[in-house]
Chain A
Amino acid sequence: MSRPRRDPRAERDNRTVESRGRTRLDFGRRETLPVSGRMRRDPWREWAASLAGETDGERKRYDRSQRQMNRAEAVRFARARETLDATDISPGQPALRVIDEPAFLVFAVVETAGGRLSRFDRQVLGAARLLADAGDGGGAVVAVAPESVEGLGEAGADRLLHLPRAATQRGRTAALKAAVDRLAPRHVLLAEEGDGADCARRLSVALGEPLFANVEHLTARQAVRAIRNRGAEIGLAPPRLMTLGEDRAKPYEAVPCEAREIEGGPATAPADPAILSVEIVPGDPAKLSLSETDFVVSAGNGVSDFAAFRDLAAAMKGTPGASRVVCDAGLMPRTAQVGASGTVLAADCYLALGISGAPQHLQGIAGCEHVIAVNTDLHAAMIERAGLAIVQDAQLVMPALLKLLQERET
């Protein structure tokens, strides 16, 4: 027998700890990892993380944001029970993941609109990371982006390929095709949205390669997409050219990759002779519908000056919204109502002025990534949900915001 013989008495002694004047057995302590390799959950630490104030720590605050405790937070609450070593998430983990000699390449074409990685861009990079680590692994993710943006390495890109920002989609596709011909990636992933979807189809025609569009389910073994108007589906081993549906793949969250820049993109993209002029017309947030906009400024019962609120929404370049109470009172139109019986938002950011956060209202903003709450009640549900919570009267904050915005403008 190669396995060492267990000594139950020694194990028992090892687990005996002194606490409050008497000995007790600490079953939370483990010498080795469990056989499954997964770390134990620490309910004590999770409970400590849900406490409201850092100073008093008396009042339990239920976190309805469904946010997993991340590493930084886990460290912050490490003092909850110092003797327990269950949340050492990955000891000895390297700070940077480097793949020097990639066995193959996976292209992830990201839009980087506004010089930032969007949520969808991160999902495309996450899906590419999944394919690069498939099987024996050793693949490298090449982020194909028009510019270098922050956070590419954290999102899972090993390499960065610059593709010049072309004026036309035809030029962009020609540049991308040249890069694909030169570097011969195993997979090319694009986003099934706007220009990415258009570029994927042009690339498919240019390469003569079939396109597996709008992937709904992606693993290392198979990619699944709906056909026949979502009546049937087909699943294949991940093909070469794919577009990923929104919210279908998880973004990468492990050790940052290096995002080293590589050569290989053409310097300039050819122009399209049929396109005579291109002009971008920015959307007017005041005229957009609530379901289409990306930033909503919303008023609740804590707001009484609605003229100032409308001025504020216009100055902040946001779409005005309101809670049910305000719409019922006739202070804002019914089309502005946010929530289960109004509009369910797809916006990125939500500024709630004087809204306490009824469950029906929180359903309406479940999709918002960033929530800012201004409310007088510390224990309001909206304050718990918010990424930035300010306990202050919204009627006082609104003129201050307007004044600050006017100062910025001049």
Chain B
Amino acid sequence: MNIGFVIGVFGILILAHATYSTIQYRSYLKILEEEFSSPPFNVVVELILGLVLCLWAALAVPGKFLSIHPDSEENRIVSLPANLDFMIFNHRGRALPTDVNMKLKC
């Protein structure tokens, strides 16, 4: 997350520099008295680079996607009951038949 943020700041700085060099190019054209047709090549390269870096930042910074399935690995609630200390299994119920469980399972 942190490195994505740094990359985004870097991309915005590249875009600012591209803006500045385009402004300079326009004033240069004004001196030469020519018409503006398209920005110079290095500005286009800078813009593409800035777009790619900002795309990376925009995908990395806001956080990960979470699964919406209720029975997926990360949404499952795994917790033990709080009264484990008070559970006793060594009682007369051990002698009883365990048909109850079998019935519940099917």
Asked whether A and B interact, the reply is no
